[in-house]
Structure 1
Amino acid sequence: MQTNTFKVDKAITSKNEDLFNRKENAATLAKIIKSYQDEDSISIGIIGDWGSGKTSFINMVLEDFKDDEKFIIINFNPWNISTRKQLISDFFTMLSKEICKVPFPEFKCRNLKKIYSHFKFKFFSEVSQNLEDLALLFKMSSYVIADPVTSLAISKTSNAISDFNKLLNAEKKGLDEIKNKINTALSNIDTKIIIVIDDLDRLADTDIREIFQLVRSIADFKNTMYILAYDNEIVAKALDKIQKDKGERYIEKIVQVPIVLPKLNKANLIAIFMQKIEQFGFVYEKIDKNEFIENLNTNNFAGAFENIRDINRYLNVLKFEMSAIKQELYLYDFAVITLFKVFEPKFYEFIYNHFEIFAGTALASYEIDEEEQKSIYTKMIDEQIENLNKLNKEVIKKLLISIFPKIYDLYNRYFSDLKDRRKYKHKYRIASLEYFQDYFVLNFAENVIRKETIDKIIKANSHQEYDDIFNEYDLKELEIFKQLAFKMSVYANDFKSSEFIYYLWGIFDEIYGEKDFYCFNKCRAYLEIFSNLKEKESVVSDKLLDDTYSLDVRMLFIYSCNYSMREKGCFYEKELKILLDKLLQEDSEKVKEKIKAHIYALITNNFHYLENTFKIFAQNSKIFFLVLEIFIEKDENNQKHINQNLLNHIKPYKLKTMVEETFKNPTDEQKELIEFYKNDLQKKSSWY
């Protein structure tokens, strides 16, 4: 896909480009400036929020001053100024050079030369105090004056040093005398000097204060005008530190003519956004431009933006990335996900890392406690939306619903027509399992497992072949390994291979990753992969009891069998009991850590058959006691309670029955915890 090459992030320079209907206002201000006859300096403030078009407005004003010999336009950029001395230095150096560039009639030249020489006095009187290298600095700059012929003559005469000494002596006459001479010279040239200082609100507080102090006291010369562009709230806050809590008053002393740009309403922003979108060149046949535009309008896409600068920033990224994505992808979905990426990167990553919530076209209808699961997902998404920093929350929620049918189902009581959802795969939409990760390829390309990789796994039939594939694609790195379950559920949902299962068992200890939550994440990833494999029940019992394989991975495999079959009974019940006995031979804290990782992996994977596994735990009182300890938590008042996640998956009365049957005669060590469970579960049983 190719797009037009216009630069959407650049301020306009002409009234012909005006999108905000401000050109008449700009023309009026230009007339006012031209009609100002007083010699006294005046400051004009162009006030508006960040991204409100202040620079564009100034450019339209200055357009009327092109080729007007009565005005000198100087754009002073205070960025990169590190000290007050450097600020003053740069200001007067630039001011003097810009004045000297302007071609004036002969009768004005002598006055300009006087102005320039006095700027040098002013500069050194302010910035060279206590500097021993004053002579060298002055010598380096003193030969740049208005008349190049004179400059050349001075540089070649032996009188240069003498001139320099005269200048130093003149400096001692005082700043007032120098300023008076500069003002006299400025009056005589009969020319207005307009000094534009833009983007003040982007500076650090100290730099903002320096600029305003400069305008107020240092450069109050005749026939000068300042145009200052800033966000009033930001600047006032910075100036509060000069006169405590009086930043507004300080601004009033400096800025005689404040001009507040009207805020752009949503209708303006939407119109501007759609106008810019129309300028994109949709040149290849798979893009239905009308459908794309209709989706943008229907779902109030442009309502997400708060200012024109955000629109420009977004369109720049979209324009760039449109040329890099697969042409098959659905442009509207890509536009939405790119919006999240540009302005809410944490939300963007949340979507990518939780494909189980977003990918697919419908919630699984067979899930137990479906309403409860919807509640969990909805809470997770609501928390993410509430933490958005930049974009309009209501609009973002609507956009999210517009591209993910599963999210639509979470927030709507009645599901939409499932027939329409069958088109998602055909149109290569983000909700399609096959294409979800392709929408993130520019950011996560190095970590994305491709269909070709899964095809190789399916065709392999030996430990060595599997190992070669895993090593080639870094599949033993935990962050990549975590994707394997999702990709296999998409591209290999009928895959069955006991050899592959044994291979996965064998590399359990080789999977590596970050230490934080490492055990939990690895258990969760394995559980997801096992849960999607077919005919796991064909695994022979001897293999499950083979201690050459990790104890953890064999237990996770048994959990997955009970999860995927959705039967009342427990598969490999005998083997799990044996493995639990072996687990108890390890250190108790280590056992607790492993069991905790197992159970939380089950819960996180929406394991709705946790009850069956708990029944097995309950047959071993030592294991079950450790499990019960894991699920005791304390609130901010140090009050104990049972973890709610556990009660979301096992009804309190059922858990109470397990506790009572397992601990009919609890030991002294067990009594306190068991009594707490029985009493607390008794109360909660009446709530469910």
Structure 2
Amino acid sequence: MFNPDVPIKSSNDDLLDRKQFAKQLARSILDYKQSDSFNIGLYGKWGSGKTSVLNMTVEYLLDLSKNDVNKPEIIRFNPWMFTDESQLINQFFKQLSSNFIGKKDKKKLGDQLQILGDVLGLTTFVPGVGILGTAASKLLNIFGKTLSNSALNKNIQKIKDDLVSEIKKNNIKFIILIDDIDRLSTIDIQSVFKLVQSIADFPNTIYLLAFDYDIVTRALEEVQKDNGESYLEKIIQTPFNLPVISEVKITQIFISELNKIFKNIPEDKFDTNAWAELLHGSISYYLQSLRDLARLNNTIGSGANSVRDDHLTSY
């Protein structure tokens, strides 16, 4: 039996007692009533369960806001699917705009999001030359005329200003969750934080960003020389650390999974207490996440058939 090591989709599947943490996080997000854009960080190592917590947080966001007259627009965005900054920005705005497809009263808002994404996704400048090739022709189609760099910047700012006005007019509240930031290259990590901090810093917008703190601060050191932590502190207004998994909980899950693997093994060949002692004595140091635990159980499970005639703690 192999453990696929995939994030849980529902709080019903929570083995780590993190559902209350996710619920409190969702409640904190919904309780934020200021109009300024607000950025929350969810810090955790690779394999520590950040995506599972995000999934539960979305579940609670939907449940806690189900009776609200003005429900928030909840958007999940995965930046690792795109190859460069232009594509990342374009697809980000396209995903936001898709939330308003079929909503006649918010069609203008959706169109403005799409246009801003199209423009920002095309604006690759060459110093002293401006916008080149296909990008220049597409921008010509959008604006109906050729623009200098300075004129283009003014037009982009006007599009953004109009969009901000439309967000306020419709009292739209965005909750945007961005996961897997720590999977990205250094330059793409920088692009995500540029997007959040200065491009899509809309009113009534809350970002929940999940990542490995050490990986991201190293990437941001190239933006603010040798001080990635300070740079991150300017962007993340409220950080949350993922709750640590206790050794007791790790042991419980480990034994539960072993029981599944060896359910057809005679009792005299499988000593639960011996495995628990082995875990405490020498293995637990290496198990820092459920991903580590899944790999260990997969390794044990893959060799179980070949040792069924032996005592399994010897294996």
Whichever structure has more strand as a proportion of its residues is: 2
Answer whether contact 2:86 2:122 (CA < 8 A) is retained.
Answer: no
CA distance in 1, matches of 2:12, 2:236: 29
Answer whether contact 1:27 1:64 (CA < 8 A) is retained.
Answer: yes
Larger RCO: Structure 1 or Structure 2 (Cα < 8 Å, ≥ 6 residues apart)?
A: 2
Inter-CA distance 190–322: structure 2 relative to 1 (3 Å threshold): farther
1:244 Cα deviation after fit? 2.0
Aligned identity (percent) is: 33
CA distance in 2, matches of 1:318, 1:269: 16
1:167 Cα deviation after fit? 7.8
**Could you tell me which residue of structure 2 aligns to residue 227 of structure 1?**
208
How many equivalent pairs are there?
Answer: 301
Aligned AA (2:144): K
Query: Is 1:92 the equivalent of 2:93?
Result: yes
Whichever structure has more helix as a proportion of its residues is: 1
Alignment of 1:395-406 (within 5 A): 403=314
1:296 Cα deviation after fit? 0.8
TM-score (norm 2): 0.82
CA distance in 1, matches of 2:309, 2:96: 54
| Selected match of 1:184 from 162, 165, 169 | 165
Query: Is 1:217 the equivalent of 2:198?
Result: yes
1:181 Cα deviation after fit? 0.9
CA distance in 2, matches of 1:94, 1:22: 29
**Could you tell me which residue of structure 2 aligns to residue 275 of structure 1?**
256
- What is the CA RMSD across the aligned residues, in angstroms? 3.1
1:11 Cα deviation after fit? 1.0
Answer whether contact 2:40 2:240 (CA < 8 A) is retained.
Answer: yes
CA distance in 2, matches of 1:171, 1:89: 17
Structure whose alpha-carbon radius of gyration is higher: 1
Answer whether contact 1:121 1:171 (CA < 8 A) is retained.
Answer: no
Query: Is 1:202 the equivalent of 2:213?
Result: no
| Selected match of 2:107 from 98, 106, 109 | 109
| Selected match of 2:267 from 273, 288, 304 | 288
| Selected match of 2:144 from 166, 174, 177 | 166
1:96 Cα deviation after fit? 2.5
SS of the residue 1:66 aligns to: helix
Query: Is 1:73 the equivalent of 2:69?
Result: no
**Could you tell me which residue of structure 1 aligns to residue 120 of structure 2?**
122
Query: Is 1:312 the equivalent of 2:294?
Result: yes
Alignment of 1:232-631 (within 5 A): 232-280=213-261, 282-283=263-264, 286-288=265-267, 291-300=270-279, 303=284, 304-319=286-301, 321=302, 325-326=305-306, 328-330=308-310, 332=312, 403=314
1:100 Cα deviation after fit? 3.2
| Selected match of 1:29 from 17, 25, 31 | 25
Unaligned runs of 5+ in 2: none
1:119 Cα deviation after fit? 3.1
CA distance in 1, matches of 2:115, 2:86: 19
Aligned AA (2:270): E
Answer whether contact 2:269 2:312 (CA < 8 A) is retained.
Answer: no
1:44 Cα deviation after fit? 0.7
Inter-CA distance 171–185: structure 2 relative to 1 (3 Å threshold): farther
Unaligned runs of 5+ in 1: 140-162, 334-402, 404-429, 431-688
1:118 Cα deviation after fit? 3.3
1:137 Cα deviation after fit? 5.2
Aligned AA (1:130): I
Answer whether contact 2:86 2:120 (CA < 8 A) is retained.
Answer: no
Aligned AA (2:255): M
TM-score (norm 1): 0.40
Answer whether contact 1:52 1:309 (CA < 8 A) is retained.
Answer: yes
Inter-CA distance 175–58: structure 2 relative to 1 (3 Å threshold): same
SS of the residue 1:45 aligns to: strand
Inter-CA distance 318–21: structure 2 relative to 1 (3 Å threshold): same
